[in-house]
A = this chain, B = another copy of it.
Amino acid sequence: MARHCIGIDLGGTFIKFCLLDADRRAGGVFQLPTPTDRVPDGVIERMVEGGRRVLAEAGLKAADVLGVGIGAPGPLGISAGVVRDMPNLPGFRNVPLRDRVAAGLGLRAVLENDANAAALGEYLCGVGRSGGDMVLLTLGTGVGSGIIINGKILHGVHEMGAELGHVIVEPGGESCGCGQRGCLERYASATYLAQYAARQVRQGRKSSLEGILKAKDALNARDVNEARKAGDALAAEVWDRAAYYLAIACVDICRAFDPERIVLAGGMTQAGEDLLRPVQEHFRRLHWSITEPMTRIVISELGNDAGVIGAAGVAWQALT
Protein backbone atom coordinates (compact mmCIF):
# COMPACT_ATOMS: atom_id res chain seq x y z
CA MET A 1 0.00 0.00 0.00
CA ALA A 2 1.23 3.49 -0.86
CA ARG A 3 2.43 5.07 2.36
CA HIS A 4 4.37 8.11 1.11
CA CYS A 5 3.79 11.46 -0.54
CA ILE A 6 6.27 13.71 -2.32
CA GLY A 7 6.29 17.41 -1.52
CA ILE A 8 7.56 20.03 -3.96
CA ASP A 9 7.82 23.71 -3.07
CA LEU A 10 8.34 25.94 -6.10
CA GLY A 11 10.11 29.21 -5.36
CA GLY A 12 11.64 31.86 -7.57
CA THR A 13 15.21 30.84 -6.63
CA PHE A 14 15.00 27.24 -5.45
CA ILE A 15 12.70 24.25 -5.80
CA LYS A 16 12.53 22.15 -2.64
CA PHE A 17 11.66 18.48 -2.36
CA CYS A 18 10.79 16.10 0.48
CA LEU A 19 9.10 12.85 1.37
CA LEU A 20 6.35 12.48 3.97
CA ASP A 21 5.11 9.15 5.29
CA ALA A 22 1.78 8.06 6.74
CA ASP A 23 3.10 8.60 10.29
CA ARG A 24 3.76 12.27 9.48
CA ARG A 25 7.52 11.74 9.35
CA ALA A 26 9.07 14.14 6.87
CA GLY A 27 12.55 13.64 5.52
CA GLY A 28 14.96 13.79 2.62
CA VAL A 29 14.59 17.53 2.12
CA PHE A 30 16.84 18.90 -0.63
CA GLN A 31 16.69 21.75 -3.10
CA LEU A 32 17.61 22.41 -6.71
CA PRO A 33 18.04 25.84 -8.33
CA THR A 34 14.98 27.11 -10.19
CA PRO A 35 15.93 27.39 -13.88
CA THR A 36 15.01 30.91 -14.90
CA ASP A 37 16.07 30.56 -18.53
CA ARG A 38 13.42 28.13 -19.73
CA VAL A 39 10.12 29.03 -18.17
CA PRO A 40 7.95 27.08 -17.69
CA ASP A 41 9.30 23.96 -19.50
CA GLY A 42 12.69 23.90 -17.78
CA VAL A 43 11.08 24.49 -14.40
CA ILE A 44 8.65 21.61 -14.85
CA GLU A 45 11.46 19.30 -16.05
CA ARG A 46 13.45 20.12 -12.93
CA MET A 47 10.43 19.46 -10.71
CA VAL A 48 10.03 16.04 -12.33
CA GLU A 49 13.78 15.35 -12.05
CA GLY A 50 13.71 16.25 -8.35
CA GLY A 51 10.64 14.10 -7.76
CA ARG A 52 12.42 11.10 -9.30
CA ARG A 53 15.44 11.79 -7.11
CA VAL A 54 13.22 11.74 -4.00
CA LEU A 55 12.06 8.24 -4.96
CA ALA A 56 15.57 7.04 -5.85
CA GLU A 57 17.11 8.30 -2.61
CA ALA A 58 14.39 6.63 -0.54
CA GLY A 59 14.53 3.42 -2.57
CA LEU A 60 10.85 3.71 -3.47
CA LYS A 61 8.89 2.90 -6.61
CA ALA A 62 6.04 4.99 -7.97
CA ALA A 63 3.63 2.38 -6.59
CA ASP A 64 4.83 3.17 -3.06
CA VAL A 65 3.75 6.77 -3.47
CA LEU A 66 0.25 8.12 -3.17
CA GLY A 67 1.00 11.32 -5.05
CA VAL A 68 2.72 14.67 -5.22
CA GLY A 69 1.78 17.92 -3.50
CA ILE A 70 3.04 21.10 -5.11
CA GLY A 71 3.24 24.40 -3.25
CA ALA A 72 3.59 27.57 -5.32
CA PRO A 73 3.19 31.29 -4.82
CA GLY A 74 -0.07 32.73 -6.09
CA PRO A 75 -2.18 33.70 -7.79
CA LEU A 76 -3.26 30.15 -8.49
CA GLY A 77 -6.31 28.32 -9.63
CA ILE A 78 -6.03 25.76 -6.86
CA SER A 79 -8.79 23.36 -7.80
CA ALA A 80 -7.91 23.78 -11.48
CA GLY A 81 -4.24 23.04 -10.73
CA VAL A 82 -3.13 26.12 -12.66
CA VAL A 83 -0.51 28.79 -11.91
CA ARG A 84 -2.04 32.04 -13.12
CA ASP A 85 1.09 34.09 -12.67
CA MET A 86 4.36 33.81 -10.76
CA PRO A 87 6.39 36.67 -9.32
CA ASN A 88 10.08 36.26 -10.36
CA LEU A 89 9.21 33.85 -13.19
CA PRO A 90 7.60 36.04 -15.85
CA GLY A 91 6.93 33.20 -18.32
CA PHE A 92 4.69 31.39 -15.86
CA ARG A 93 1.23 32.38 -17.01
CA ASN A 94 -1.78 30.08 -16.89
CA VAL A 95 0.40 26.98 -16.69
CA PRO A 96 -1.41 23.70 -15.82
CA LEU A 97 1.43 22.90 -13.42
CA ARG A 98 -0.36 20.17 -11.51
CA ASP A 99 -1.17 18.05 -14.53
CA ARG A 100 2.21 18.54 -16.20
CA VAL A 101 4.13 17.46 -13.09
CA ALA A 102 1.69 14.57 -12.61
CA ALA A 103 2.25 13.43 -16.19
CA GLY A 104 6.02 13.76 -15.88
CA LEU A 105 6.17 11.63 -12.74
CA GLY A 106 3.30 9.28 -13.57
CA LEU A 107 1.72 10.16 -10.22
CA ARG A 108 -1.37 12.00 -9.09
CA ALA A 109 -0.68 15.58 -8.04
CA VAL A 110 -2.35 18.47 -6.21
CA LEU A 111 -1.53 22.17 -6.22
CA GLU A 112 -1.68 24.51 -3.23
CA ASN A 113 -0.74 28.07 -2.34
CA ASP A 114 2.66 28.07 -0.62
CA ALA A 115 1.54 29.90 2.54
CA ASN A 116 -1.42 27.53 2.91
CA ALA A 117 0.98 24.60 2.48
CA ALA A 118 3.33 26.03 5.12
CA ALA A 119 0.42 26.31 7.54
CA LEU A 120 -0.53 22.68 6.94
CA GLY A 121 3.12 21.66 7.34
CA GLU A 122 3.32 23.29 10.78
CA TYR A 123 -0.05 21.80 11.65
CA LEU A 124 0.85 18.24 10.70
CA CYS A 125 4.54 18.09 11.60
CA GLY A 126 5.56 21.28 13.41
CA VAL A 127 4.40 23.56 16.18
CA GLY A 128 0.73 22.72 15.55
CA ARG A 129 1.02 18.93 15.52
CA SER A 130 -0.87 18.53 18.82
CA GLY A 131 -3.94 19.76 16.92
CA GLY A 132 -6.43 22.61 17.22
CA ASP A 133 -7.22 25.30 14.68
CA MET A 134 -4.22 27.32 13.61
CA VAL A 135 -3.44 30.52 11.74
CA LEU A 136 0.02 31.04 10.24
CA LEU A 137 1.43 34.41 9.21
CA THR A 138 4.54 34.48 7.01
CA LEU A 139 6.48 37.68 7.54
CA GLY A 140 8.86 38.26 4.67
CA THR A 141 8.77 40.40 1.55
CA GLY A 142 5.05 40.56 2.14
CA VAL A 143 2.74 39.00 4.69
CA GLY A 144 1.14 35.72 3.65
CA SER A 145 -1.11 33.48 5.66
CA GLY A 146 -2.66 30.06 5.95
CA ILE A 147 -5.67 29.09 8.05
CA ILE A 148 -6.31 25.55 9.30
CA ILE A 149 -9.79 24.78 10.59
CA ASN A 150 -10.72 21.25 11.66
CA GLY A 151 -7.47 20.05 10.14
CA LYS A 152 -8.21 21.50 6.71
CA ILE A 153 -6.94 24.53 4.80
CA LEU A 154 -9.51 27.34 4.49
CA HIS A 155 -9.60 28.51 0.87
CA GLY A 156 -12.75 30.58 0.62
CA VAL A 157 -15.39 30.05 -2.03
CA HIS A 158 -13.42 31.88 -4.74
CA GLU A 159 -10.06 30.50 -3.48
CA MET A 160 -9.17 34.06 -2.41
CA GLY A 161 -9.39 33.64 1.37
CA ALA A 162 -6.59 33.51 3.95
CA GLU A 163 -5.00 36.71 2.64
CA LEU A 164 -4.47 38.17 6.09
CA GLY A 165 -1.59 40.32 4.84
CA HIS A 166 -4.34 42.46 3.35
CA VAL A 167 -6.65 42.92 6.30
CA ILE A 168 -6.95 46.63 7.02
CA VAL A 169 -5.20 47.40 10.30
CA GLU A 170 -5.07 51.19 9.81
CA PRO A 171 -8.06 52.70 7.96
CA GLY A 172 -6.86 55.33 5.51
CA GLY A 173 -3.27 54.28 6.20
CA GLU A 174 -0.34 53.49 3.92
CA SER A 175 -1.13 52.64 0.30
CA CYS A 176 -0.66 48.97 -0.54
CA GLY A 177 0.17 47.49 -3.94
CA CYS A 178 -3.16 45.64 -3.80
CA GLY A 179 -5.06 48.91 -4.13
CA GLN A 180 -6.16 49.12 -0.50
CA ARG A 181 -4.92 51.40 2.24
CA GLY A 182 -3.67 50.34 5.66
CA CYS A 183 -3.01 46.64 4.91
CA LEU A 184 -1.16 44.61 7.57
CA GLU A 185 1.55 43.87 5.00
CA ARG A 186 2.44 47.59 4.82
CA TYR A 187 3.10 47.67 8.57
CA ALA A 188 4.46 44.28 9.50
CA SER A 189 6.39 42.74 6.62
CA ALA A 190 10.19 42.72 6.78
CA THR A 191 10.35 44.77 3.59
CA TYR A 192 8.01 47.56 4.61
CA LEU A 193 9.28 47.77 8.16
CA ALA A 194 12.74 48.44 6.72
CA GLN A 195 11.39 50.85 4.09
CA TYR A 196 9.56 52.77 6.79
CA ALA A 197 12.77 53.08 8.82
CA ALA A 198 14.66 54.32 5.72
CA ARG A 199 11.93 56.87 5.03
CA GLN A 200 12.17 58.20 8.57
CA VAL A 201 15.95 58.55 8.27
CA ARG A 202 15.68 60.29 4.88
CA GLN A 203 13.14 62.66 6.41
CA GLY A 204 15.81 63.69 8.92
CA ARG A 205 15.19 61.49 11.95
CA LYS A 206 18.49 60.97 13.83
CA SER A 207 19.46 57.32 13.89
CA SER A 208 22.46 55.01 13.75
CA LEU A 209 20.71 53.53 10.70
CA GLU A 210 21.80 56.56 8.67
CA GLY A 211 25.29 55.13 8.09
CA ILE A 212 23.98 51.76 6.91
CA LEU A 213 21.45 53.45 4.67
CA LYS A 214 24.18 55.62 3.09
CA ALA A 215 26.46 52.61 2.55
CA LYS A 216 23.81 50.23 1.11
CA ASP A 217 21.12 52.69 -0.05
CA ALA A 218 18.60 50.39 1.66
CA LEU A 219 17.86 48.78 5.00
CA ASN A 220 16.54 45.37 5.95
CA ALA A 221 14.63 44.16 8.98
CA ARG A 222 17.77 42.73 10.55
CA ASP A 223 19.51 46.13 10.35
CA VAL A 224 16.59 47.63 12.22
CA ASN A 225 16.59 44.94 14.91
CA GLU A 226 20.38 45.19 15.39
CA ALA A 227 20.21 48.99 15.73
CA ARG A 228 17.31 48.58 18.17
CA LYS A 229 19.35 46.20 20.32
CA ALA A 230 22.25 48.68 20.27
CA GLY A 231 19.90 51.30 21.74
CA ASP A 232 18.79 53.25 18.66
CA ALA A 233 15.51 55.03 19.45
CA LEU A 234 14.16 55.23 15.90
CA ALA A 235 14.89 51.54 15.30
CA ALA A 236 13.10 50.63 18.54
CA GLU A 237 10.09 52.69 17.51
CA VAL A 238 9.95 51.14 14.03
CA TRP A 239 10.32 47.59 15.36
CA ASP A 240 7.66 48.18 17.99
CA ARG A 241 5.29 49.63 15.40
CA ALA A 242 5.45 46.40 13.38
CA ALA A 243 4.88 44.35 16.55
CA TYR A 244 1.91 46.54 17.47
CA TYR A 245 0.16 46.05 14.13
CA LEU A 246 0.91 42.33 14.19
CA ALA A 247 -0.74 42.21 17.61
CA ILE A 248 -3.79 44.06 16.26
CA ALA A 249 -4.04 41.39 13.56
CA CYS A 250 -3.65 38.65 16.19
CA VAL A 251 -6.53 40.10 18.24
CA ASP A 252 -8.68 40.19 15.11
CA ILE A 253 -7.71 36.58 14.33
CA CYS A 254 -8.87 35.59 17.82
CA ARG A 255 -12.18 37.41 17.40
CA ALA A 256 -12.79 35.73 14.05
CA PHE A 257 -11.28 32.25 14.40
CA ASP A 258 -10.42 31.75 18.09
CA PRO A 259 -7.63 29.36 17.10
CA GLU A 260 -5.45 27.24 19.36
CA ARG A 261 -2.38 29.08 18.13
CA ILE A 262 -1.13 31.79 15.81
CA VAL A 263 2.18 30.83 14.21
CA LEU A 264 4.63 33.47 13.06
CA ALA A 265 6.87 32.30 10.21
CA GLY A 266 9.05 33.72 7.44
CA GLY A 267 12.29 35.66 7.34
CA MET A 268 11.42 38.13 10.10
CA THR A 269 11.10 35.31 12.64
CA GLN A 270 14.87 34.84 12.46
CA ALA A 271 14.73 37.56 15.14
CA GLY A 272 13.13 34.95 17.40
CA GLU A 273 12.20 36.25 20.84
CA ASP A 274 13.10 39.80 19.74
CA LEU A 275 10.00 39.65 17.56
CA LEU A 276 7.81 37.30 19.55
CA ARG A 277 8.03 39.09 22.90
CA PRO A 278 6.82 42.55 21.80
CA VAL A 279 4.04 40.98 19.72
CA GLN A 280 2.88 38.97 22.73
CA GLU A 281 3.07 42.03 24.99
CA HIS A 282 1.01 44.23 22.66
CA PHE A 283 -1.41 41.34 22.16
CA ARG A 284 -2.03 40.94 25.89
CA ARG A 285 -2.54 44.68 26.24
CA LEU A 286 -4.87 45.02 23.25
CA HIS A 287 -6.86 41.80 23.91
CA TRP A 288 -10.32 42.07 25.43
CA SER A 289 -10.74 41.60 29.19
CA ILE A 290 -13.81 39.33 28.90
CA THR A 291 -11.45 36.35 29.01
CA GLU A 292 -7.73 35.89 29.39
CA PRO A 293 -6.01 35.41 26.04
CA MET A 294 -6.35 31.72 25.28
CA THR A 295 -4.79 31.65 21.82
CA ARG A 296 -1.01 31.27 21.96
CA ILE A 297 1.30 33.16 19.64
CA VAL A 298 4.34 31.09 18.76
CA ILE A 299 7.14 30.93 16.21
CA SER A 300 7.20 28.23 13.53
CA GLU A 301 9.27 25.11 14.17
CA LEU A 302 9.90 23.94 10.64
CA GLY A 303 11.16 27.28 9.33
CA ASN A 304 11.78 27.23 5.60
CA ASP A 305 10.85 23.54 5.33
CA ALA A 306 7.23 24.08 6.41
CA GLY A 307 6.13 24.76 2.83
CA VAL A 308 7.58 21.64 1.23
CA ILE A 309 6.46 19.37 4.09
CA GLY A 310 3.02 20.92 3.99
CA ALA A 311 2.85 20.44 0.21
CA ALA A 312 3.31 16.71 0.79
CA GLY A 313 0.65 16.93 3.50
CA VAL A 314 -1.75 18.52 1.03
CA ALA A 315 -1.28 15.47 -1.19
CA TRP A 316 -2.00 13.15 1.74
CA GLN A 317 -5.21 14.94 2.58
CA ALA A 318 -6.40 15.14 -1.01
CA LEU A 319 -5.51 11.62 -2.06
CA THR A 320 -6.50 9.49 0.95
A: which residues have CB within 8 A of B?
A: 75, 132-133, 147, 149, 154-164, 166-171, 176, 178-181, 244-245, 248, 251-252, 254-260, 286-291, 294-295
Contacts and interface: CB of A to CB of B under 8 A. Distances in A.
A287 B180 contact: yes
Nearest to A170: B171
Q: Which 7 A-B pairs have the closest CB atoms?
A: A156-B258, A179-B289, A161-B258, A178-B288, A160-B258, A167-B252, A163-B255
A169 B171 contact: yes
A157 B252 contact: no
A21 B248 CA distance: 43
Given A179-B288, A248-B171, A147 B258 contact: no
Question: How many copies of this chain are found per oligomer?
Answer: 2
Contact of A156 (B133, B245, B288): B133
Nearest to A253: B256
A136 to B, nearest CB: 13
B256 A160 contact: no
Contacts of A251: 167-168, 180
Contacts of A149: 149, 154
A168 B286 contact: yes
A161 B252 CA distance: 10
A159 B258 CA distance: 7
Given A178-B290, A252-B252, A157 B169 contact: no
27 contacts: A147-B256, A149-B154, A154-B257, A155-B258, A156-B257, A156-B258, A159-B258, A160-B258, A160-B291, A161-B254, A164-B255, A167-B252, A168-B169, A168-B252, A169-B171, A176-B288, A178-B288, A178-B289, A178-B290, A179-B287, A179-B288, A179-B289, A179-B290, A180-B287, A252-B252, A256-B256, A256-B257
A249 to B, nearest CB: 9
Nearest to A75: B290
Contacts of A157: 132-133, 258-260
Contact of A286 (B75, B180, B245, B290): B180
Nearest to A173: B171
Contacts of A154: 149, 257
Contact of A259 (B147, B156, B164, B260): B156
